[in-house]
Amino acid sequence: MKIDTMFRHAREAFKSLKRNTWMTFAAVSAVAVTLLIFGFFLVFAFNINYLSKELDQQVAIRASIVPGASADDIEQLQKQIEQNPEVKSVTFIPKAQGLQQLKAQLGEDSKILEGLEGEENPLPDTLVIVPQNPQRIEELANKVKAHNLIEHEDHGDGVTDKLLDFSSLVRNVVLVFGLGLAVLAAFLISNTIKLTIFARRREIEIMRLVGASNWFIRWPFFIEGAFIGMLGAVFPVIIVLAFYKAALNVLTDGSPYSFIKMLPMMPLSLYVAALTTFLGVLIGIWGSVISIRRFLRV
């Protein structure tokens, strides 16, 4: 297609948007409302996925080593466990380091641990074993427990399994709900765009009578639908990101709920803006394709 022809199509599209101000406003409003809901859903979905990944990373087996094990024996045991293909990583935590970590977790209450350094330290040396597949942690825990130098292992028992099952359930629900919302958005927006094209059916009939090709007629509507989708995505993106920024400041900055982990603003902003705009443009064009098809039938 020639550049001059494309510019002509763009001019016709914008003229049409100006001539049909109220229909354009209705289409943009439908896009904006639907994408606003979709934008909030995207924020929720991305954070659920982020929390699920964080949970997967935190799933680990803490294996206590029998008292009196030599450094060589511990090193040999660590290498042996690392060779297991089901193991992602193995970290050795001496009991002195474990005591320091416990004090850091307790904060001001760590005073109760004073005097337990050195030989008085009751904590065991520990291996922290991270599985490749958190869903199979039970199998790996049984294999780790079989080693002679392992006195006790802890992987959360049923709590970990329930958390992993919940994580999988939430991911599936988010996926199904997202697909359903996308279909609903496409249906609402395409129906609104149909109204704008129906109002111009005589214009399309005249263009066909003078010999215009179907593609020549389609292009202005494609551009118009894309612009409506893009314009309708602007305000939802701004509103969603503004609400998320406020929530991020409240929940993670000097708040008693600061332990809540949320996806940082910068990557989330890019994801939401790109996906919302892309969806708006895509549905706008798709709505134009479906709506104009009936007027181009021979």
Task: Compute φ and ψ for 30, nearest 5 degrees.
Answer: -65, -40
Task: Output 239 or 193, whichever has higher pLDDT.
Answer: 239
∠ Cα 291 7 194 (to 5°): 10
Task: Output 98 or 2, whichever has higher pLDDT.
Answer: 98
pLDDT confidence of residue 239:
93
List, for residues 22-34, the tens digit of each pLDDT value.
Answer: 777 777 887 788 7
C-alpha to C-alpha distance for 220 and 223, rounded to whole angstroms: 5
How would residue 196 be classed by pLDDT, with cut points 50, 70 and 90?
low
List, for residues 274-296, the tens digit of each pLDDT value.
Answer: 988 988 888 778 777 776 776 66
State the DSSP code for 130.
E
pLDDT confidence of residue 256:
44
pLDDT confidence of residue 126:
87
- pLDDT of 195 > 80? The answer is no
Torsion of CA 260, 263, 266, 268, to 10 degrees: -140
Of 188-197, 229-238, 267-276, minimum mean pLDDT range: 188-197
- pLDDT of 268 > 80? The answer is yes
pLDDT averaged over the chain?
A: 76
In this prediction, residues 128-132 reach a mean pLDDT of: 85
pLDDT confidence of residue 254:
45
For the record, the structure tokens of 196 come out as 């704008």
Q: What is the gyration radius of the CA atoms in the chain, in angstroms?
A: 30
pLDDT confidence of residue 2:
65
- pLDDT of 255 > 50? The answer is no
- pLDDT of 259 > 70? The answer is no
C-alpha to C-alpha distance for 59 and 161, rounded to whole angstroms: 10
Beta strand residue intervals within 104-211, DSSP E: 126-131, 150-154
pLDDT confidence of residue 129:
86
Of 39-43, 115-119, 232-236, 264-268, minimum mean pLDDT range: 115-119
pLDDT confidence of residue 257:
44
- pLDDT of 81 > 80? The answer is yes
In this prediction, residues 106-115 reach a mean pLDDT of: 66
- pLDDT of 217 > 80? The answer is no
